[in-house]
Structure 1
Amino acid sequence: MSDSKKFTVRTTEKRNGWCAEIVRQVTSRRTTVSKREMGFETEELAQAWGENELKGFIENQVERNKRKAADRRSED
């Protein structure tokens, strides 16, 4: 499981299989789905996909935040 408090992986069972979602905590009461994949045969496959995607998703967010911070510094 990820160390991130802001992003988590949620798996749910749908009619055509399992669904994995990367969920972002927007506020203390509100969450939103950042990425979703459906049609997994088992919950384990869905969870594994979610964990793998979450690592890449967080890395992309870190890189994006660094670029944005550098842009803010260069504007001053």
Structure 2
Amino acid sequence: MKIQKYRVKIKQVGSTWTSEIWRKVSKNEAAVSKGQAGFASEQEAQSWGETELKAFLSHLGDRNQRRAEKRS
């Protein structure tokens, strides 16, 4: 079983959709790292979430690389 540290969650709030990037903090806790509301359709929200998750992970990898270079 593979546990993902980051994932996209989509939910409907009234007549609009919300997309959030969730981060697994610990075994029993998760937190929202980034989110946006007001999408007209579930497809738009899912598309935004997947795009932002890729950008988020790319930025995180770049930041980790810079920090590793500073340590060495």
Tell me, yes or no, whether TM beats 0.5: yes
Q: Provide the residue aligned with 2:41 in structure 1.
A: 42
Residues 52-71 of structure 1 correspond to what in structure 2 (within 5 A)?
A: 52-71=51-70
Q: CA offsets per residue over residues 13-53 of structure 1, 9 Å max, x none?
A: 11250000000011111100000100001111100100000
The unaligned stretches of length 5 or more in structure 2 are: none
Over the aligned positions, Cα root-mean-square deviation in angstroms equals 1.3
Counterpart residue identity of residue 52, structure 1:
T
SS at match of 2:48: helix
Counterpart residue identity of residue 34, structure 1:
S
Deviation at 1:54, TM superposition (A): 0.4
2:29 aligned with 1:14, yes or no? no
* Percentage of pairs with the same residue: 39
Structure 1: which 4+ aligned runs deviate by more than 2 Å?
Answer: none
TM-score (norm: length of structure 1): 0.86
- Bigger shift: residues 10-19 or 57-66: 10-19
